Amino acid sequence: MHSVSKLVLAFAPVAFAFLHSYAQAQSYPVKPIRLIVLIAPGGAPDIGARVIAPAMSERLGQQVVVENRVGSNGNIAGEYVAKAPPDGYTILYGADSLVAINPHVYAKMPFDTLKDIVPIASTTISQVVVSVHPSVPVKTFKEFLDYAKRANPPLNFASGGNASIHHLTMEAIKQQAGIELTHVPYKSGTPAVIAAIAGDVPVVVAGTSAAPQIKAGKLRAVAVSGKNRLTYLADVPTIGEFFPGVSFNNWLGIWGPAGTPEPIVARLHNEINSALANKEVAERISSVGGAESWITTREAFGQFILSEHERYGKLVRGLGIKID
């Protein structure tokens, strides 16, 4: 066979695959898209997904259906998407804890968060809040730290799960302040907040799920985790005001299975960013808990993920947190 003919035959499968992928992307989407959320209804990722999904549906011309797959700190949802067909019809509404923290605390991960899923778009960024039940006799962060030092036995604190951003925030406070508190992990922020409201635990570290209860006076906020104070909690100090350099943000985004065609990833990225830029969507995101629409380029989001992965790796190793 002529050498040129052999070369054509050798590249034929590659060319076919490319053309098939291109054709898929050109017609995408032709059916509903499943947006897999890693926690139960009511928590920050679920709230964000249900705000953004209708705006995505309108722009894409196909329904974006939110589906909750709960368990193992998000690993179940992440693995499900990682192993889904890379065609843009099963995507993940994920969190920092899954992508940047879990790989450092689980002895064995069911998938590689940096290789088996591809970042499509950042969506929201917010802070977590340290709050107490109104029966706890403290009104400020300093009073809380002093009270916790005297408590015997140590106070219990609720979080959205082992090695969640909520958990790590309090572990950092404990380390800096030299205090002891006993961790009570829940499956997500919402049940942790419910337990604190009921008085089952005196302290809770949570994100957007706590905001309505703080506003209603059912919880008392004593500190926020970011570098700047929150607008709706202007009188509540940041942790960094007491312990310089200690700050945490709760960030969320959307991922797809590795191998998803580039044109589909680009289409989703552009439509998600357009949805987030919509004033009504941004206001809705803010109103349900103080989160902010977080619009980035794909390159910037990818670099941010890598930096957070490294940052949390150092923190987790320093704290010695492990989950079997």
* 65-94 pLDDT tens trace: 999 999 888 999 999 999 999 999 999 999
Q: Between residues 151 and 324, which one has the greater pLDDT?
A: 151
Of 248, 220, 233, 290, the closest CA to residue 47 belongs to 290
- Please say whether the structural domain 3-126+250-319 has been given the CATH code 3.40.50.1970: no
Matching CATH number, 129-241, of 3.30.70.20, 3.40.190.10, 2.40.30.10, 3.20.20.140: 3.40.190.10
pLDDT of 12 strictly over 60: no
- The Cα–Cα gap between 156 and 184 comes to 7
Say what the pLDDT of residue 26 is: 74
Taking a C-beta distance cutoff of 8 angstroms, is the pair 252, 95 a contact? yes
The pLDDT of 112-123, averaged and rounded, is 98
- The Cα–Cα gap between 141 and 97 comes to 25
- The Cα–Cα gap between 301 and 303 comes to 5
The model's pLDDT over 169-195, given as tens digits with 9 standing for 90+, comes to 999 999 999 999 999 999 888 899 999
Kind and range of the H or E element at 122? Answer: strand 117-126
Say what the pLDDT of residue 54 is: 97
**HSE of 115 in the Cβ direction (CA atoms, 13 Å)?**
5
Q: Which two tokens stand for residue 158?
A: 């609720």
pLDDT confidence bin for 22, thresholds 50/70/90 = low
Reply yes or no: is the peptide bond before residue 185 cis, omega within 30 of 0.
no
Q: Which two tokens stand for residue 108?
A: 């064995």
Say what the pLDDT of residue 14 is: 47
Collapsed DSSP state (helix, strand, coil) of residue 42: coil
Which of 24-33, 111-120, 193-202 is the least confident region? Answer: 24-33
Say what the pLDDT of residue 209 is: 74
Is residue 36 exposed (0-12), middle (13-18) or buried (19+ Cβ within 10 Å)? buried
Same fold flag, 3-126+250-319 and 129-241: yes
Q: Which two tokens stand for residue 178?
A: 């030299």
Taking a C-beta distance cutoff of 8 angstroms, is the pair 140, 83 a contact? no
Please give the full DSSP string across 194-249, using - where no structure is assigned: HHHHTTSSSEEEESGGGHHHHHTTSSEEEEE-SSS--GGGTTSPBGGGTSTT----
pLDDT confidence bin for 291, thresholds 50/70/90 = confident
The domain ranges of the chain are 3-126+250-319, 129-241
pLDDT of 34 strictly over 80: yes
Of 63, 77, 68, the closest CA to residue 33 belongs to 63
Dihedral sign from CA coordinates of 256, 262, 267, 271:
positive
Which of 93-107, 254-268, 281-295 is the least confident region? Answer: 281-295
pLDDT confidence bin for 15, thresholds 50/70/90 = very low
- The Cα–Cα gap between 124 and 250 comes to 8
pLDDT confidence bin for 289, thresholds 50/70/90 = low
Say what the pLDDT of residue 190 is: 86
Say what the pLDDT of residue 193 is: 95
- The Cα–Cα gap between 224 and 238 comes to 5
